[in-house]
Every structure is written in structure tokens, then in C-alpha cells.
Amino acid sequence: MPSNPFASLECLTLENPNAGDSDACVIWLHGLGASCNDFANLLPELSLAPGARIRFVFPQAPTLPVSVNGGYQMPAWYDLLSLDVDRKFNAEHLAQASAAVAELVEQQVAAGIKSERILLAGFSQGGAVVFDAALNFAKPLAGLLALSTYFATSETCSFNAANQALPISIQHGLNDEVVVPALAARAEAVLQAHGYQYESHRYPMAHEVCREQIADISAFINRCLPVLAKA
């Protein structure tokens, strides 16, 4: 295995075919054992604002052996060593994945999209990565969408001042037995202690996405990435 399996992430990139050149971007990470297509398949269900020119980038996690699954190799953003509420993980993997996401943001900036128009989203493991990437990032971002996840690096995060006012939406299932709701509450407590504002959503669901939540995801994206008049 390469020393940094996240050095060159493959991505599925989707543009709005009817909106012209994109002026905003959502970078959306899937969960453990999943693929970049998971949330790409959700796009038709979103109610995005008419005229929104949003590019969606869905990175694919590399294949890694995962300790909690007996070393079985699967798409993963980091090796997970335990599943208890104080779950242990491979910190080097997570740091490398976070840096790779930051590089994806920089690529979008280089392509002409301002950092303030880039939103990071992630589910489960992917959410843990974007928590770290967004709150360490040295340029202002549009928003952070944390889905059924936890703030794995809350004790090592730099909490860069550039994103102190970052809009954050934490969405979690009340019946989640994979990432228990207490972990979402713990993330919220850390954010509150560091002076962040966030919105909190809970749903009667397990470790998944539900219909009611799709409306909240759509509203958050529309609010963070409002339609701009074409120059």
C-alpha cells in the first residue's frame, strides 16, 4: 500500500447541464464501504434553487484494510480500530484524507470558484473527514454538512479563524446504531464550546438518509450557495 493512499483521489464530477458555467461547488464524501455514486444518485431528489450553477464533486475513497471488519479491504477514509463511543481510528489516514479534501477545494478555487462558494458534505466516515477539513481550512468556505457522523479530531483541530462563522448543519438519525446519536451531541458540544453556530436536526431513522432529511439538505445547500446573477 502506498504511504499516502489519498495522494490522488478519483472523483465523480457532475455539473448542472442547464445552468451554464458553475459558480459554486459541493464536495461530498461517502461513508465506509460505499462509493462515490451513493450521493450522486441522491442529486435528482434534491430541490435546488432554479438557476443554481452548482458543481458536485464526489470523491472515491481508496481501498484499505479495516480493522473492525477483520482487516477486510473496502473503500475507507481511514482505518477504524473500534466501534465504541470513544472509537479509535488511524489518525494518519484521517489527516491524509483531510488534506486531500483541502486540495480538492484548492483545485476548485484554481478553476475559478471562490472558496466562499464551496460547501463540504460528508456521511459517517466522510463526515469525520470534512469536519476536520473544513474547520482547519485557512480560507472561508460556504458551509459544512455533517450527516450521521462524529467529530473524530475535535482534540487536534486548529479551528482556523477563517471559518469561525461557517454555517454548519448536523443531521443524525435517532435510531442510528452505527454512529450513535450521542456522538452527534458530542460534536455539537465541542462546536458550542468553541463559539460556533450550528443547526441541529434529528430524524426517526437509522444510519441512512430519509425523505424529510432530503428537504433539509436541499434547504441548507440553497441557503449556503444562493443563486448569483450571471456576470
101 closest CA partner among 78, 123, 133: 133
10 closest CA partner among 29, 25, 24: 29
**Is 207 one of the catalytic residues?**
yes
The active-site residue out of 35, 67, 207, 218 is 207
The active-site residue out of 124, 148, 154, 169 is 124
Q: Which residue has the cell 442529486?
A: 43
Q: Which residues, 6+ apart, have CB-to-CB distance to 91 below 8 Å?
A: 78, 153, 156
**Is 176 one of the catalytic residues?**
yes
Positions annotated as catalytic residues are 124, 176, 207
